[in-house]
Amino acid sequence: MKKVINLLVVLVLLTFAFPALAQDEERSLSEIALRKTHSDNWYVSLGPSLNILFAEQDGLKSAGSRMKFGGEFSVGKWFNPNTGISFNIMGGGLRGFNELRTPYEGGYYTLPDNGHSNIHDGGFGVPMGGPFYENGKWNSKYTEVKGKNGERGFWQDFKYVVPTIDIMANLTNLFRGYAVERSWFELVAFGGLGVNIALDNGSTTPDFYFLAARMGLRANFNVNKNVAIYLEPTAYATDPEFDGYKGTAIGDAYTSLSLGVQYTFNRRVSSFEKLTIDELDRLNRRVNENRDLIENHQDILERQQKLLDKLGNSLSSAQTEKTIPIIHNEASKVLPEYVRFALNSYTIEKSEYSKINGVVDFLKSNPTARILLVGYADRKTGNPTYNYNLSKKRVDAVANEIKRFGVDGNRVFIEWKGDKEQPFTANEWNRVVIMVERK
């Protein structure tokens, strides 16, 4: 009955885990500006493993003497630079040590008898008998070994297999904040659940099914974009009857160390994969605002050009009556007009520093020049009192940056208007500090 229950639980896990994680993929993809297709960032890996069992009496023999070899195969999918899912199969050999006498009251071995798995309870300190003794003599089929304190016992050698579904987290990307196309090293943490199957060894271990928990780390050493050599220490926990003996322990555990090759299909990474939709919308709004601003300035330039043309026509008509001397002055340096800010922000963005540098260059090239900074806030957000204080913070931020570049504070004058005055017709353009030369 226990086997049936365990198998049903595993089937439920396998049935519902992948659809649920697929829904998580859709939710996570909706938060990523650079979307990938379903065929991207799949991987397969394969390699041998070294396995060590840590059951109740195994401490009586050294870990080195209990080592057995196995292998690992896995298929995985990365949904984004930080998280993914994998299906893993680990298996091979395990070796444990058991005493011939049960050291704890209630301890027992499970022994096959006529093709069936029966429980033989020897009781506290009672020889187990079973297949180890025949007619009161030790059965030569089994090799008796001694524990570290001279305990009489035998090796428990058997095969096992454990399929699991794991959730993965790329620790390297989580700590550095972005994915790198040519990163030589990645550290991946994982954890999951599956079913542990101990195969019958014909003497002391029956067919045994039970849930298993798995966790570990995978260190990927990337040879190129698609191929990596991995080193993976993993730990498993399962039922105490897994090795065929149960005493007072709450469970059995074993570890594996795998070394293998991983191949990634359609590997795609980008430093922009963490850009959210909100951030992308904000950038789009800034682009549209700048485009509108450029178009608005184009109208101003066209009006100025018309005035110049009109003035040129007037001069041409006046030249027929009187020669007017035209004095050509050297082109004066022009100040940047404004520093723009994001909504409800007085932080100067990197794209605006070129304008501040332009002001600093102008003031250093013209030692007698002074600058007037006027701060504003848009009228459609916030309230007058809040916007008044916000405009002051914006103009203070710009003034402090100008002074930080070595300009004397006596040459920098500031004013702030809040939303009382709106220098631009478009509401979003009024989140500015306007800069003009003070005469």
Confidence of residue 209 (pLDDT cuts 50, 70, 90): confident
Task: Give the whole-angstrom CA distance, residue 197 versus residue 136.
Answer: 33
Is the CATH code 3.30.1330.60 the one for domain 333-439? Answer: yes
For residue range 140-182, what is the model confidence (pLDDT) as tens digits?
666 678 888 877 777 888 899 999 999 999 998 888 766 666 7
How high is the pLDDT of residue 245? Answer: 72
For residue range 33-50, what is the model confidence (pLDDT) as tens digits?
444 567 888 999 999 999
What region does 97 belong to: left with phi over 0, alpha with psi -120 to 50, or beta? beta
Is the CATH code 3.10.20.340 the one for domain 2-265? Answer: no
CB atoms within 10 A of CB 191: 15
Task: Give the whole-angstrom CA distance, residue 4 versus residue 12.
Answer: 12
Going from N- to C-terminal start, the domains of the chain cover 2-265, 282-328, 333-439
Confidence of residue 123 (pLDDT cuts 50, 70, 90): very low
**Cα separations (Å) of 74 from 98, 256, 264, 325?**
32, 14, 12, 87
How high is the pLDDT of residue 434? Answer: 92
Task: Give the whole-angstrom CA distance, residue 209 versus residue 165.
Answer: 16
How high is the pLDDT of residue 130? Answer: 47
419 or 209: which leads in pLDDT: 419
Write down the pTM of the prediction.
0.52
CB atoms within 10 A of CB 362: 19
Three-class secondary structure of residue 64 per DSSP: helix
* φ/ψ of residue 158, rounded to 5: -155, 165
Task: Give the whole-angstrom CA distance, residue 40 versus residue 72.
Answer: 23
For residue range 60-115, what is the model confidence (pLDDT) as tens digits?
888 888 999 999 999 999 988 889 999 999 999 998 887 766 555 444 454 444 44
What region does 382 belong to: left with phi over 0, alpha with psi -120 to 50, or beta? left
Q: 90 with 162: CB under 8 angstroms?
A: yes
Task: Give the whole-angstrom CA distance, residue 66 versus residue 96.
Answer: 6
Which residues is 370 bridged to in the sheet? 438
- Listed as own residue / partner, the contacts of 410-414 with beta carbons closer than 8 Å and 24 or more positions apart are 411/363, 411/369, 411/370, 411/371, 412/370, 412/371, 412/373, 413/370, 413/371, 413/372, 413/373, 413/438, 414/372, 414/373, 414/374, 414/375
CA neighbor of 149 nearest in space, from 209, 215, 86, 101: 101
